[in-house]
Amino acid sequence: MSPLVKTYLMPEPAAVKFAIKTTLAMMLALYVAFMFDLERPYWALISAAFLQVRPMSGMVIEKGICQLGGTFIGAVAGIVIMALFAQARVPAIITLTLWIVLCTYVGSLWRNNYTYGCLMAAVTAMLIVVIAGGSTPAGIFDVAVARMTELGLGAICATLVSSLLWPSRVGQHLADQADTVINRAFYHAALRLETSDDRDELLKALRESLGALTQLETDSQAARFEGPEGPGRIRASHVLTRRTLRFLASLHALDQLLSDHTERLDPQSVAIARELAQGFTDAEHVQGVTGARRYLQALRGQVHESDDPTLAPLDRRLRLGLREVLGHAMIMLDAREAIASPGTYTLKAGPLAWHRDRLAALINGLRSGLVFAGLATFWIVTAWNSAMVAMMLGTLFSAFFASRDNPVAVTLMFYKGMLAAIPSAFLFGHVLLAQVHDFPLMAVVFGTPLFLGLLGAANPATMGYCLAFTIFNILLTMPGNDMDFSFDSFANRAVAAIIGLTTVVTAFRLLPGLGTRLRRRRLIRAISRDIHGLRRRSITQGETRFSGHMADRLLQLAQHDDVLPQEQRHLFALGLTGLDVGTAILRLRHRFDSADHPAIQSAHQALLKALALGFEQSARGHRFEGLEAAGEDLKAALQTHTDDSPARLALLTGLIERLSLSLDRLADTMAAPADRASDAPTDAKNPA
């Protein structure tokens, strides 16, 4: 059964509640807009609909604040543009285009509701400049106040309904996301440690864990609006993000040893890894965080007891890595418990620094500017009033979808939803609504297609189609006190909507964003820059920046690799190797930054530099020969100037040996021609 059919034949209770809440919020906004005789009440409906897409109370408040802030900034920008070019349409349009480019650029650099605020700043300024063209200064100010009032009304109604009717809180949502992160990470760990050949399942588990992790980190900021427990949940989310990334980096390193160098390992070490794989599978199904933590603690004790000082350095490194993985897993469980019950644990962590690709953001901004400029030229040349609808839709959706993983596909989903809304809006919004003379009956008639659209919008698989169906029912009807029910007016709006979205789809196809080769070069530079930065910044600051950047990059690269041919899927593995190297640098700094002797400090810094240069050179397809020599220099300095035990020196030797093997594998993979599937990595678990 298709998701669309299932959504309407067997709707989930949560979907029905969402549709009822959002429809009531929209009808409340519409009633108040009618009561105060606002000029364009439909903007209040759209505002309420967008805010209720994520109906948790804290998120509605946060998004509402960003919406109002963006609207205010956009209104000020629109007033300034009109104050400078009130009687000069072309300079005003050029200045407005630059403003839209700036708003889209800044919005593309964010990963949370600030993006929505930037979008509203662009759209509000566009509405003021286009609608108020040729008006008096007082008229321009009235238009700005009207847009802010309509959008603010929608925000207030959405917040009110969200808080009073079936309220849902961010805290529970974060706990559910944390469960997904941990369960999928544990399943991924089981696949890694048993060296599974099911590449698709391994990638799926990793992508699901990273996707939930990124969503958790982004959504956690809204917890601050849900009482004094909010900051504790935010800190716990940061801890979970950091520890999960260390967990994944360690697994990647262990898998490389178990897969490619089994002959160099003791059979007992391989057997222990297999036991841990089963242990993570069992821990995933243990009821309760306390039980799972106790189970992992027992496993860690078993691994510790199996340690043998006579083993080869690589074997000792493997067993230490297994203990580290279990340690990370237990802290992940503590963080999950702190998210669900902030008073259980007191965790401290600063916010993460997300990766921001300024070139990609600039392309998004230029694309939005070109869409608006093209539609504005069309409006000026044709003098067609309905072209303003096309301009508004082009600006809105070219900026809104710019940072999505596959903007063409998302826009086409909205396009299909818009086409489905045309007959619905004509039937309910014109034929039937023309016979209505009181608000209760109007709410029943007009609210019916909105409710049906929102029912489908609660399902992620059908959200793109159904949310578009809801929004375009509003835009094609444009409810107000002085509605125009003529067919000509409706047809003009429908044609304008088609032109606006067609322009957006065309723009995304002509300017698709960064290609694979450019993305690869920028990825290598960005990761190399962060790895070099780990040597210079404080450990806390370096870890904060590196963890945040790599989480964001890995999620984007996992999704990017899915659309490439099998033989070209190397970017995601490149990111995993960078995460492994960066984590190793942080581990070395934790151990040796406090060393007193200058010879140890010098050898330590030389090793860190060799690791950074080794990744950079290997990522470009060239083997790096200086890593093992740098490791030997540090080992010699430690032997001369400290009383480190042979066991600790063996662990250092094992770490350097493992990293050298990983970088050699990376260099061989990146040097292979992209069109030779036999030379390219076919398994994401190898450090491509």
Main-chain dihedrals φ then ψ at residue 138, nearest 5 degrees: -65, -40
pLDDT confidence of residue 673: 44
**Range 108-136 burial, b when 16+ CB lie within 10 A, else e:** bbbbbbbbbbbbbbbbbbbbbbbbbbeee
The per-residue pLDDT for 318 is 85
Which residue type, as a one-letter code, is found at position 388?
Answer: M
Overall size of the chain counted in residues: 688
d(C-alpha 109, C-alpha 117), whole Å: 12
Helical spans, DSSP H, in 36-169: 42-51, 57-85, 89-108, 114-131, 137-164
Q: How many whole angstroms separate alpha carbon 34 and alpha carbon 157? A: 14
Contact in structure between 43 and 498 (CB atoms under 8 Å): no
**Burial of 504 by CB count in 10 Å (0-12 exposed, 13-18 middle, 19+ buried)?**
buried
The per-residue pLDDT for 98 is: 96
27 touches 447 (CB < 8 A): yes
| DSSP character string of 193-235 | HTT-S-HHHHHHHHHHHHHHHHHHHHHGGGGGGS-TTHHHHHH
Name the nearest CA neighbour of 611 among 634, 643, 594, 595: 634
pLDDT at 595 (0 to 100): 83
pLDDT of residue 437: 85
Q: Are 365 and 104 in contact (CB under 8 A)?
A: yes
> Residue 410 and residue 474: Cα distance in Å, rounded?
20
Long-range contacts at 258-261 (CB < 8 A, ≥ 24 apart): 258/193, 258/195, 258/318, 259/195, 259/683, 259/685, 259/686, 260/661, 260/665, 260/686, 261/314, 261/661
Instruction: Supply the DSSP symbol for 433.
Output: G
With CA atoms as reference, report the closest residue to 173 among 276, 60, 271.
60
How far is residue 116 from each of residues 47, 69, 153, 402, measured CA to CA in Å?
11, 10, 17, 12
If we measure between CA atoms, which residue out of 399, 413, 408 comes closest to residue 472? 413
d(CA 116, CA 49): 13
Query: What's the CA gap between 66 and 115, in Å, rounded?
Result: 9
Structure tokens at 686: 């190898």
Helices (H) and strands (E) in the chain, counts: 25, 0
What CA–CA distance (Å, rounded) separates 283 from 186? Answer: 8
Could you tell me if residue 15 is left (phi over 0), alpha (psi between -120 and 50 degrees) or otherwise beta? Answer: alpha
Tell me the pLDDT tens digit for each residue of 197-247. 777 788 788 878 877 887 888 788 888 887 778 888 888 888 888 888 888
How far does the chain reach from its first CA to its final CA, in angstroms?
39
What does residue 506 show for φ and ψ, rounded to 5 degrees? -60, -40
> What was the pLDDT predicted at 554?
74
Stretches where the chain sits below pLDDT 50 are: 673-688
For residue 71, give the nearest of 155, 158, 137, 138 by alpha carbon. Answer: 155
State the Cα–Cα distance between residues 219 and 173, nearest whole angstrom.
Answer: 9
Q: Of the candidates 333, 166, 323, 159, which has an alpha carbon nearest to the alpha carbon of residue 244?
A: 333
Cβ neighbours around 344 below 10 Å, total? 14
Confidence (pLDDT) at 564: 56
Contact 411, 504 (CB under 8 A): yes
pLDDT of residue 151: 86
Q: What is the pLDDT of residues 617-673, one digit of tens each?
A: 998 888 888 898 999 999 899 888 888 778 788 888 888 988 898 888 888 878 864
